[in-house]
Chain A
Amino acid sequence: MMLVILALLIWVVATAGNVWLANSVYAHSRTIKLLVPAIFGLTLLVMWELIVRGLEISFVILPPPSMIASRFASSIPILWADFVQTFLKGALSGYIIGCGAAFVLAVIVDRYDFLRRGLLPVGNFMAALPIVGTAPILVMWFGFDWQSKAAVVVVMVFFPVLVNTVAGLRDTSDMQRDLMRTYGASYSQTLIKLRIPAAMPFIFNGLKIATTLALIGAIVAEFFGSPTVGMGFRISTSVGQLALDMVWAEIVVAAIAGSAFYGAIALIEKGVTFWHPSQRT
């Protein structure tokens, strides 16, 4: 019981501290902007630890963060192998193929107005569907190894990227296109020098949405069958063995991989679309 009271005490102190920091004169400085969420996150972790121990909740049902951390540290080789299988082999290769194919199709679709008007609504419709459901079919076709995971990822990332790229390729004003025409620019010159650069913010929007989808696709596809390695495989078997600390460790890996993937794409975006108003600070 003491631990629970301690947890509540820490909560009150940390919240008061955050309120004070957020309303202080330095609230707009970079340090405070990072410090406040960090304090909040840490408080949650500490409270989790203390409450689980204080209320004597079974570690099997809800392992405390310290146990998850030690499990993480002790099984890095397994986690790394799972990461390679699911992320590098499944998600990343599918991501590259899917985004590449969507980009190529978008350029073709953009060229023909009939195709654009026909494919765009279909693409928009498909982007809203529960495409993870194709996982059992694709696992059946491509086998249990990473190829089938990559295939699921291809289907999942394809439509968001397609729709965003097509929208982006239309995002030039008449004036800009007229200017290219007065220069006597050919279709491909206009495309490469004006329209693709102008489409970049849209394309990256699609690419960023696709990062999360890629990981989801690769993990969920492993629930339908996989070799004895991979993040989705580890999660489903560890859940079966009630080794929830392992599941949490795997979730930590997924969280790190997901945000790092997103961050990497966001960094590339920053470099490519430095001219766009949203990137100016």
Chain B
Amino acid sequence: MGCVQGMMMRKALQQSLVPVLAVIAVIVAIWYIACVPMNSAWTAQQLERSGGTMTVTEHIADTWSQERPRLPSPHQVGAELWKSTIAMKPSSKRSLIYHGKITLTATMLGFAIGTGLGILLAVGIVHSRAMDMSVMPWAIVSQTIPIIAIAPMIIVVLYSIGVQGTLPKAIISAYLSFFPVVVGMVKGLRSPDAMQLDLLQTYHASKSQSFWKLRLPASMPYLFTSLKIGVAASLVGAIVGELPTGAVRGLGARLLSGSYYGQTVQIWSALFAAALLAAALVAIISLIERIVLKRMGVAA
């Protein structure tokens, strides 16, 4: 299955490069056009105050280069991103690398905790009927509720007992990545069919042997699918975890302070940094997935 998927993906990628670029170009174009009506009121206001006049082209150009536009133009966001990542020292308080690193640490710590516990629980569920029947319905129900609502409370409660910094955010991240991993991993560990399990029984394989040699390898494609969902959820958890306490560090804090002070360019660049981070994390997991599945002989 992985092999076909991989091949299809690569083929689809080659076929879709031109359409994807075209779509992105259209999106950027719409973005530029949208800047004009969004920002022109401000330009007109400034003009009225100074009493000067402007040609239409000048007016449009101005909507693309305001300091605090309602909708910053793509090149402004790009410039801010460049300025606050590459051109700035990573230790600076305004560098997105600095803030990104803080969010990333919480995300990775939480993701590791959540995934580890999730896999453990899934193993328990597969091997114990009682655990399956008592925990699994709750794990499924918990996916339908907005658990992110407890984020502010976790932060404040842990703060009041003296725990702050990375750990509270990591707990929220762990909580968010936990349930997708449990559900996916249970599915994966159950994916070997009766015939394969019977075969191992005829080999007189022990429970642990059939776990290590059949169930665990068979669960890998499912595991990686849920890891990709889980890592994205972890990042959202870490970002949201930075909101309620008015944190001053991290991508979420950049979003919040940007929204307090009306620094739209800052919000957009933090948003894009978060998006790039999410994309990079998912890409890394896809890469590991491909390597692991290839070594297992699943993918070509």
Contact = CB atoms under 8 A, between A and B. Distances in A.
A117 B19 contact: yes
A262 B228 contact: no
Contacts of B259: 136-137, 139-140, 224-225
B84 to A, nearest CB: 16
B212 interface: no
B129 A129 contact: no
Q: Chain B's interface: helix, strand, loop or mixed, by majority?
A: helix
B69 to A, nearest CB: 11
A250 B149 contact: yes
B107 to A, nearest CB: 10
B264 A117 contact: no
B268 interface: yes
Contacts of A254: 145-146, 149
A15 interface: yes
Contacts of B156: 239-240, 242, 244
A235 interface: yes
B284 interface: no
A213 B12 CA distance: 28
Contacts of B262: 140
A133 B149 contact: no
Nearest to A216: B146
A247 interface: yes
A235 B244 CA distance: 10
A119 B143 contact: no
A137 B149 CA distance: 20
Nearest to B137: A37
Contact of B274 (A32, A41, A130, A223): A130
A118 B135 CA distance: 42
Interface residues on B, range: 35 or more
B144 A258 contact: yes
B70 A140 contact: yes
Contacts of A40: 134-135, 138
B267 A136 contact: yes
Nearest to A139: B259
B153 A22 contact: no
Given A19-B130, A22-B129, A128-B232, A115 B153 contact: no
Given A18-B134, A117-B16, A137-B271, A231 B23 contact: no
Contacts of A27: 129, 133
Nearest to A239: B152
B38 to A, nearest CB: 8
Nearest to A91: B146
Interface stretch (B115-123, B214-222, B233-241): B233-241
B148 interface: yes
B278 interface: yes
A227 interface: no
B174 to A, nearest CB: 17
B182 interface: no
A132 B236 contact: yes
Given A128-B228, A133-B255, A223-B243, A37 B133 contact: yes
Contact of A141 (B70, B137, B161): B70
A251 to B, nearest CB: 5
B148 A122 contact: no
A133 B152 contact: no
Given A62-B157, A136-B255, A137-B268, A236 B152 contact: yes
A254 B144 CA distance: 10
Contacts of B288: none
Given A18-B134, A254-B149, A125 B279 contact: yes
B227 interface: no
A130 B267 contact: no
B270 interface: yes
Contacts of A173: none
Interface in B255-284: 255-256, 258-259, 262, 264, 267-268, 270-271, 274-275, 278-279, 282
* Shortest Cβ-Cβ A-B pairs, 5 listed: A118-B19, A136-B259, A40-B134, A118-B23, A262-B144
Interface of B: 12-13, 15-16, 18-24, 27, 70, 129-130, 132-138, 141, 143-146, 148-150, 152-153, 155-157, 160-161, 228, 232, 235-236, 239-240, 243-244, 251, 255-256, 258-259, 262, 264, 267-268, 270-271, 274-275, 278-279, 282
23 contacts: A15-B130, A18-B133, A22-B130, A27-B129, A37-B135, A60-B160, A117-B19, A121-B13, A121-B20, A125-B279, A128-B278, A129-B274, A130-B239, A132-B236, A132-B240, A135-B255, A137-B271, A212-B144, A212-B146, A223-B243, A224-B256, A231-B149, A251-B150
